[in-house]
Amino acid sequence: MKIIFEIAKQEFVINTRNKWTLIFTIIFGILVLGISYSGLLAEGFSGIQNFSRTSASLLNLTLYIIPLIALVMGTLSFTSDKGSMELLFSQPISRKQILFGKLLGLFATIFFSTAVGFGSSAILIALETDFSGFAKYISFVFLILLLSIIFLILAAFVAIVSFRKLKAFGTVLFIWFFFELFYDILVIGGTVLLKGQTANTFVFISLFGNPVDLVRVGSLIVLDNPTIFGAAGAQLLRFFGGEFFSFVILIFTLSVWCLIPLFIASKKLAKQDI
Amino acid sequence: MIFEEVKYRYKYCLWIVLFGFILSNKISFAEENILQTRINSSNIGDTIRVKGGLYIGNLIVNKRLVLISDENAVIRGSGSESIITILADSCVLQGFQIEHSGRMLVNEDAGILIKSSFNKIINNELHDILFGIYLLHSQHNLIENNKIIGRRFLDVGQRGSGIHLWNSHWNTISQNEITDTRDGMYIQNANNTTITFNRVYKVRYGLHYMYADSNYFYGNSFTDNMAGAAIMYARNITFRKNIFLRNRSFSSFGVLIQDCHNSTADSNLIIDNRIGIFFEASTNNFFKHNLIMKNDAAIQIFQNSINNTFTENNFIDNLSPIQIIGKTTSSNWNLKNVGNYWDDYGGYDLDLNGTGDVGFKIQNVFDYLESNYPLTRLYLYSPAAQALSISASIFPVIEINKEFDNYPLMQPISTRSIAEYFNLIKSPKNNLSSLLIIFFSYIFFITIYIKVSRKNLFPTSSG
């Protein structure tokens, strides 16, 4: 355990000293703050859920950026220059410890760099809305961080499997494009083609195939309420047995999305010839 | 001797009356209906002033009377049938608290049942009732400033309406407050009703018209209902300056218009509903100067609704501007070169005449998909949905429908005065202090970030 923390610490230092991480931190912070500020304080009508529109814009921003950053950071870290990797692997520590340590360090970096944006807008939201608004915001950030873990693990998995840096980057960009865009278009197409109950089942099952969709739907249900999806939302809740159960299923599936690639990656890494 | 006896009896009676009077202020006996006795013993046209206190038992007003209580006397019904039944014309009922009606939905047990005309029901408060005020074959009544609270513990379907009109014309309903009933106001076969300045909240349908023509409603507020106003099978309805706010559940509507023709909506605020305006099988309706804002879908319209006109409305911040069930509708999105204001219109106005030079295509591909395949709404806010819309606007290969506003307005129509009337304008906040807080917290977090990243965590290995 101590070794994992040591590796995580080292990973954290390397990543936070990177200029790109600093630039990402600053820009992400400005974007998140800008959206929450303009959404919460714009002069308008009272008694209306202004916050849901704000969170929807936030959701859009983070759903694009966070997976991309996680993928790029993960790939960079696991395919860094051969010398340091070889040095690390030659130490008397198991490869599983290296994998977990690196992932922990990477996650700490993402947590820390998004904390600038999320943290300062949390202060704003705590000042401007009531407790329930703040709790919603916290659960939203929690879901987004969970998404970043999934994509870090996916990046590690791809980097370990493809081994070469260029190949890993290509695959990772394809994964991002696939989960952000291609998958959803396929499912929308499928829904239009299928009919009745089959279409229902198809859409609801296919949500689980894409962590981005899971987090998007889950955040909208948490942040706003399921009515935002209209009839589809009602059907979704009935399919999963209520709001609470949907959330439990969501968290469970997201953890499955973490654990399976992590398991395969650690098996692969253990057998790999460096 | 006789004189002595009379004097004695008179004294005796006086004592009884005095005793009864003291008692009546505190309790009255269930079997003795004091008010009914007073009504029976009064003459036509009398004014009965009722002192404060509790009066038990149902009342039947069968002659022209003025019943006034300045001290908010409580009339508690027997728990079966209607509490007060008015059978004579031109009665006045003012200032009572009326409670505990019957519970039979089939018998339509009400707080006040009116079967006559030219009555005035003013300043009463009704609670624990099935129906509130029920007008049956009654014309020219005035119902003003009453508060009606239904039985919240019942299912919505088991409750009665707040104010129920059946086959009653020329009535005026004004400044009432209605909550926890099935429908706020249910108007069936009632023409020429005027409904003004009422507040209806937490009911099923705020206002429900069935087969009612030439009605007018003005300045009402409908909040947190299943539907703000449901206008069904009606003609020539005019509604102005009402607000339909926060009517939210899986199938909620601000205004539901079904089989309704030649109606006019002017200067209404339709804000934060699940669906702003819903149309089915409705023709020749006219919408002008309305603000339709922050709804999940601004308009849901069935293909069988034709020739509805929208001009000078503001469509702001709606998640979807329009959901068409079917292929297309022949709605007019502009009237004589004046269209509507759409906040996501991206055109330009080179000749500076106030309307955009290129038409606005109201529905994008994703709106089209989600209105015909509701399940795809789960992909709301997804990059895929946005990509579809953008690509379809760049390469307009698929012709989805012909909903075009050819003269979109560049500036929204001002609705500020109506919003001010409903106390909707948020007082401007002190933005500067918030801005400073944000700025300093941002700097604070960045400094921490830089400090931590520059901190030497490995003093031995770094050298």
Q: Of the candidates B272, B376, B449, which has its C-beta nearest A188's C-beta?
A: B376
A35 interaction partners in chain B (CB closer than 8 Å): none
Question: For residue A78, what are its two tokens?
Answer: 């696991």
Q: Min CA distance, A123 vs chain B (Å)?
A: 8
Comparing A185 with B33, which gets the higher pLDDT?
A: A185
As to burial, measured by CB atoms within 10 angstroms (0-12 exposed, 13-18 middle, 19+ buried), residue A270 is exposed
pLDDT greater than 90 at residue A148: yes
**Beta pairing class for B205-210 and B227-235:** parallel
Say whether residue B245 is in contact with chain A using an 8 A CB cutoff.
Answer: yes
In a domain? residue A126: yes
Answer whether B297's CB lies under 8 Å from A231's CB: no
In a domain? residue A14: yes
Instruction: Give the pLDDT confidence score for residue A202 in this predicted structure.
Output: 86
Residue in this structure with the two tokens 């001002």, named with its chain if needed: B414
Answer whether B162's CB lies under 8 Å from B132's CB: yes
Nearest CA in chain A to B375: A232
Which of A82-86, A92-96, A168-172 is predicted least confidently?
Answer: A82-86
Q: What average pLDDT does the structure give for chain A?
A: 83
Three-state SS sequence of B393-446: HHCCCCCCCCCEECCCECCCCCCHHHHHHCCCECCCCCHHHHHHHHHHHHHHHH
pLDDT greater than 80 at residue A140: yes
Q: Of the candidates B373, B385, B445, which has its C-beta nearest A120's C-beta?
A: B445
Residue type, B381: Y
Answer whether A11's CB lies under 8 Å from A99's CB: no
In a domain? residue A255: no
If one counts the domains in chain A, the total is 1
Question: For residue B401, what are its two tokens?
Answer: 């429908």
Gap between the Cα atoms of A124 and B26, Å rounded? 56
Question: For residue B414, what are its two tokens?
Answer: 């001002």
Gap between the Cα atoms of B424 and B242, Å rounded? 13
Full residue range of the structural domain in which residue A25 is found: 2-178+261-271
Do residue A230 and residue B296 have CB atoms under 8 angstroms apart? Answer: yes
Gap between the Cα atoms of A20 and B408, Å rounded? 44
In a domain? residue A171: yes
Residues 6+ apart with CB under 8 A from B323: B275, B297, B299, B300, B301, B367, B370, B371
Neighbours of B463 (CB within 10 A): 6
Question: Chain centroid to CA A223: how far?
Answer: 17
Residues of chain B with pLDDT under 70: 1-32, 396-401, 425-431, 456-463
CA B205-B299-A195 angle, 5° bins: 95
DSSP A99-154: HHHHHHHHHHHHHHHHHHHHHHHHHHHHHHS-HHHHHHHHHHHHHHHHHHHHHHHH
Residue in this structure with the two tokens 């051969």, named with its chain if needed: A82
Q: Of the candidates A16, A128, A182, which has its C-beta nearest B453's C-beta?
A: A16
Instruction: Give the pLDDT confidence score for residue A14 in this predicted structure.
Output: 85
pLDDT tens, residue by residue, A28-59: 888 888 887 776 665 455 555 555 666 677 88
A22 interaction partners in chain B (CB closer than 8 Å): 449-450, 453
As to burial, measured by CB atoms within 10 angstroms (0-12 exposed, 13-18 middle, 19+ buried), residue B27 is exposed
Q: Min CA distance, A107 vs chain B (Å)?
A: 15
Instruction: Give the pLDDT confidence score for residue B29 in this predicted structure.
Output: 47
In a domain? residue A266: yes
In a domain? residue A46: yes
User: How far apart are the two ends of chain B, measured CA to CA in Å?
Assistant: 132
Question: For residue A174, what are its two tokens?
Answer: 């394809």
Neighbours of B110 (CB within 10 A): 29
Q: Does domain B24-203 have CATH number 2.160.20.10?
A: yes
Answer whether A179's CB lies under 8 Å from A212's CB: yes
Chain B, window 355-394: residues with a beta carbon less than 8 angstroms from a chain A beta carbon = 369, 373-385, 387-388
Gap between the Cα atoms of B420 and B219, Å rounded? 12
Q: Min CA distance, A79 vs chain B (Å)?
A: 22
Answer whether A217's CB lies under 8 Å from A235's CB: no
Range A144-167 average pLDDT: 90
In a domain? residue A83: yes
In a domain? residue A77: yes
Mutation target for A interface from B244, B377, B382: give the one with most A CBs within 10 A: B382
A54 interaction partners in chain B (CB closer than 8 Å): none
Instruction: Give the pLDDT confidence score for residue B287 in this predicted structure.
Output: 92
Furthest C-alpha separation in chain A: 64
**Beta pairing class for B404-405 and B360-361:** antiparallel
Domain residue limits, chain B: 24-203
Q: Min CA distance, A48 vs chain B (Å)?
A: 7
